[in-house]
């Protein structure tokens, strides 16, 4: 009597989640995904989850506010046509500060994506399995920051989330400042 393992689905011998098909003689390439969601393993308590890149991302809205000070238009109007219609002079809007603001905004956007990549890489090095994907930072920094902390809460529950709260507070203050500044500029354009 021979003792062979009958064909069937068995836990993958490579250690991957899910099952692999044993044909009675050898493992095949056929795999089944795991039955439920794969849990991320927790990281040890001594491993820090706050990285330098996430802190730089959290403080980036301060640079956005400072960059807004580069743009100080002196709005001028000119009369056009025989009926005295007033029009905004484009030269008063498109100043050097305007272009500094535009280029600076693009550089900060690129820096945010780079910082998300560096943070993702640092988390992987610290043992976080499948950290939140850094390309979400292309959509918006806030998407990456919040998604990152959702994952960190799963692998390191109970840890403080100071970079997240810092980003939210600094971002909210920056948004209020931007709205007030935009309202003041808009008010200058009204006759």
Residue with tokens 């393992």: 5
Per the structure block, which two tokens stand in for 54?
A: 């996430």
Across the range 119-137, mean pLDDT stands at 95
pTM (two decimals): 0.73
Query: Largest Cα–Cα distance of the chain, in whole Å?
Result: 109
3-state DSSP call for residue 134?
helix
Residue with tokens 């308590």: 45
Per-residue pLDDT at 88: 78
In the chain, where the domains are located: 1-36, 52-189
| Higher-confidence position of 35 and 171 | 171
Residue with tokens 């998407």: 143
Alpha helices in the chain (DSSP H): 52-68, 90-93, 96-125, 141-155, 162-189
Total residue count of the chain as it appears in this document: 191
Mean pLDDT across the chain: 88
pLDDT tens digits, residue range 16-57?
Answer: 878 888 888 889 888 887 666 667 889 998 899 999 999 999
Per the structure block, which two tokens stand in for 13?
A: 């011998």
Per the structure block, which two tokens stand in for 143?
A: 């998407």
């Amino acid at each position: 009597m021979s003792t062979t393992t009958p064909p069937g689905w068995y836990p993958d011998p490579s250690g991957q989640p899910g099952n692999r098909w044993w044909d009675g003689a050898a493992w095949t390439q056929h795999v089944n995904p795991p039955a439920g969601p794969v849990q991320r393993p927790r990281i040890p308590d001594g491993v820090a989850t706050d990285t330098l890149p996430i802190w730089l991302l959290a403080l980036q809205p301060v640079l956005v506010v400072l960059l807004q000070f580069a743009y100080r238009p002196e709005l001028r109007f000119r009369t056009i046509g025989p009926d005295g219609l007033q029009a905004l002079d484009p030269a008063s809007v498109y100043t050097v500060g305007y272009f500094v603001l535009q280029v600076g905004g693009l550089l900060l956007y690129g820096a945010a994506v780079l910082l998300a990549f560096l943070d993702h890489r640092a988390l992987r090095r610290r043992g976080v399995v499948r950290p939140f994907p850094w390309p979400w930072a292309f959509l918006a920094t806030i998407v990456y920051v919040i998604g990152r902390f959702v994952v960190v809460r799963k692998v390191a529950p109970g840890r403080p989330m100071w970079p997240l709260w810092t980003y939210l507070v600094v971002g909210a203050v920056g948004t209020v400042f931007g709205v007030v500044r935009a309202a003041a500029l808009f008010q200058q354009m009204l006759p």
